Amino acid sequence: MVIKQLARHKEENDFEQFYNKISAMEPDLRKFMTRSLKAAENQGAIDRGFYNADELLDEIYLEMFEEFADYMDKEKIKTILFSKAVQKIEEKKIIEQETPEYISTEEMLKEELNALDEQFTMDADGDLILNTELDDISYKQISDRPNNVILDTTLEQELIKKLDLNDSLLPSLERRTTFGALFTNIPPRTKSVLELYAFGNRSHFEISEILEVPETVIDRIMEKMNERFRLIE
């Protein structure tokens, strides 16, 4: 029914009605966009308050209006919408300036998986610390990774809930700082997977469709993410 309505609005060139229908189709899309932009702000990847989730969604819906075809089904449209949302957020970061266009998302995710096992060490007091001197395998560059990031409480709670972590995980500033550093130092494409899962409420299969990578790769990434965050439980 919704697809027929969208097709009619497209045929009539009525973007306003098209917008009203498609924006109500997937409420989690706005949540994903808002949370992901906020996370990027927390990490200093984009300027605070410079980008607006609703404005970016307007761009996405306009693109969807222009590209819409009546052979698309509802799930396909949702996949396209989330894929465009990921692309919009990546465009607002400096990642695209460093990422060679010829490297596929699947190849980058596999390389980032290899990096995830070697991100941490222990200091003399037995406390978990981040090893910030590692090579960034994804982009073959050495970068200084921030270790003093504190995420907004809403983002922390979303991640804790989706990763099924202990509710009392963050009782102190030190724990929150470590949690923020763990999240911030996740490689870029892997972070997109986690944000789609935690902020976009997407399943492993849906993420694989959005990013066009095998579901087995998404499964492995989420296993690594659970291992990573359970280091501070």
Tokens, residue 29: 């899309």
Residues 6+ apart with CB under 8 A from 193: 109, 207, 211, 218, 221, 222, 225
| Residue 129 dihedral angles phi and psi, to the nearest 5° | -135, 155
pLDDT score recorded for residue 207: 96
- Alpha carbon distance 113, 105 (integer Å): 12
Residue 66: CB atoms within 10 A of its CB come to 9
H/E segment holding residue 160: helix 153-162
More confident residue, 179 or 37: 37
| Long-range contacts of 97-101, Cβ-Cβ distance < 8 Å, separation of 24 or more | 98/139, 98/141, 99/138, 99/139, 99/188
145 has a pLDDT exceeding 90: no
Name the pTM for this structure: 0.78
C-alpha span between 97 and 122 (Å, rounded)? 33
Q: What is the SS3 assignment for 146?
A: coil
HSE-up of residue 66 (Cα within 13 Å, Cβ side): 6
In this prediction, residue 198 carries a pLDDT of: 95
Alpha-carbon distances of 9 from 17, 24, 50, 96, rounded to whole Å = 6, 15, 32, 35
* Distance separating alpha carbons of residues 155 and 16, to the nearest angstrom: 32
pLDDT tens digits, 190-229: 999 999 999 999 999 999 999 999 999 999 999 988 888 8
What are the contacts of 14-17 at 24+ separation with CB within 8 A? 15/62, 15/65
Query: For the segment 93-136, what is each residue's pLDDT rounded down to a tens digit?
Result: 764 455 445 457 777 787 777 777 655 554 444 444 555 433 33
